[in-house]
Amino acid sequence: AIHQLFLEHIVCHLCLLTLRCMSLSEFFFCVFGMTWNDLKVCFFTLLQGVKKPFEEVIKANIGDTHAMGQRPITFFRQVMALCCYPLLLDDNKFPEDAKNRARRILQSCGGNSIGAYTTSQGIDCVRHDVANYIQRRDGGIPSDPDNIYLTTGASDGIVTILKLLTTGEGRTRTGVMISIPQYPLYSASIAELGAVQVNYYLNEEKCWSLDISELQRSLQEAREHCNPSVLCIINPGNPTGQVQSRQCIEDVIQFAAKENLFLMADEVYQDNVYAEGCEFHSFKKVLFEMGPEYSSKVELASFHSTSKCYMGECGFRGGYMEVINMDPEVKAQLTKLVSVRLCPPAPGQALMDLVVNSPQPGEPSHQTFMKVPFIFPYLFQMSDHMLEVFHFHKTRQNHRNWPDF
């Protein structure tokens, strides 16, 4: 699991460890913030021939696989091209299944155009496809399309839920428990919203695993000065790459139930599991397998995205969140909150649809799409390479050559 480490996130994390920002003026987002700007200056001075104690700056500030050479999935781009320029529907270079997908998406768009606003919660047929995907992924546990919100990448969903849950003043101010190391979106959003950042530390000695005793310590200490009511989990982890065991997830859910915490499960790396013996378990699945005592009570929002793994389509800003056990009145507020921003980008929603609803056996694009698993060894090699570089090994290699899929 440790092979999922990406250097960029380690760099971000190291910067963030020193941060405790509680206001917008102190808000600091390492991924695109000042650290990155400083590095850019460094990069240009090197180009101008200024001598530094190093020869090269590796741009690793963000997990952007296409920027690093990963190629897009042909089927995805065909459907997106057809959606954006429907005259291509008459072009016989495009396979029929790609055309059918594009027609179906376009029919759900206002004026049959991908350029129209969509409903704020997201295109109906896409939300249904997401729910079907979750149900398949979770071994048949039902998913209700009404609980699905399409988002502008996972980031938007995460910030929206944090916004929804942040309330109170002084000692009653919402505390948000986040792992350290973390992904900088969390600390930055907590600062922006004026919530209280409550750190819990992952156990490096045990491959960055999560100890319930550490959660308990962190919660108890936080209760002295705020109202910790949200617990954020990144699984598989970023930047640490750990994949939580089923038992660990069960323990976390029990802890959340006992302490009345709202669980946020960031599962954007659910397909990035390479290490032998590691398996992704969704929080939703484990929650429902624990029986009604938990599945009818624990509030959960889980997040996924088009940005990572074999798709790597982060520029499209596609994502979704599923909310479970949210009080209907709170859910109405959530719907109101997302409606203020009108809707997530329609192309991102269309792409999300393709991710959750890939070509099926018998469809013309199925055979080509079946090559997708061949991307995984490349992803594994890249993360391995990042580890080598991070540990300053001498075995420097050039970028891998990415094949087409």
In the complex with ligand PLP, the residue whose CB is nearer, 150 or 185, is 185
309 binds ligand PLP (CB under 6 A): no
For the segment 169-188, give every residue that binds ligand PLP (CB under 6 A).
183, 185
In whole angstroms, the minimum distance from the beta carbon of 308 to ligand PLP comes to 7
x/- track of binding to ligand PLP for residues 193-232 (CB under 6 A):
----------------------------------------
In whole angstroms, the minimum distance from the beta carbon of 189 to ligand PLP comes to 11
Out of 244, 305, 349, 365, name the contact with ligand PLP by CB under 6 A.
305
For the segment 102-121, give every residue that binds ligand PLP (CB under 6 A).
none
CB atoms near residue 53 (< 10 Å): 4
Structure tokens at 8: 């960029």
For the segment 61-90, give every residue that binds ligand PLP (CB under 6 A).
63
314 binds ligand PLP (CB under 6 A): yes
In the complex with ligand PLP, the residue whose CB is nearer, 32 or 85, is 32
Task: Identify which range of 14-22, 151-159, 171-179, 344-352 contacts ligand PLP by CB under 6 A.
Answer: 151-159
In whole angstroms, the minimum distance from the beta carbon of 319 to ligand PLP comes to 5
In whole angstroms, the minimum distance from the beta carbon of 161 to ligand PLP comes to 12
234 binds ligand PLP (CB under 6 A): yes
In the complex with ligand PLP, the residue whose CB is nearer, 228 or 237, is 237
Size of the site for ligand PLP (CB under 6 A): 14
268 binds ligand PLP (CB under 6 A): yes
In whole angstroms, the minimum distance from the beta carbon of 267 to ligand PLP comes to 9
Out of 129, 138, 266, 353, name the contact with ligand PLP by CB under 6 A.
266
> SS3 string of the chain?
CHHHCCHHHHHHHHHHCCCCCCCHHHCCCCCCCHHHHHHHHHHHHHHCCCCCCCCCCCCCCCCCCCCCCCCCCHHHHHHHHHHHCHHHHHCCCCCHHHHHHHHHHHHCCHHHCCCCCCCCCCCHHHHHHHHHHHHHHCCCCCCCHHHEEEEEHHHHHHHHHHHHHCCCCHHHCEEEEEEECCCCHHHHHHHHHCCEEEEEECEHHHCCECCHHHHHHHHHHHCCCCEEEEEEEECCCCCCCCCCCHHHHHHHHHHHHHHCCEEEEECCCCCCCCCCCCCCCCHHHHHHHCCHHHHCCCCEEEEEECCCCCCCCHHHCEEEEEEECCCHHHHHHHHHHHHHCCCCCHHHHHHHHHHHCCCCCCCCCHHHHCCHHHHHHHHHHHHHHHHHHHCCCCCCCCCCCCCCC
In whole angstroms, the minimum distance from the beta carbon of 314 to ligand PLP comes to 5
155 binds ligand PLP (CB under 6 A): yes
Q: Which residues form the interface with ligand PLP (CB under 6 A)? A: 63, 153-155, 183, 185, 234, 238, 266, 268, 305, 307, 314, 319
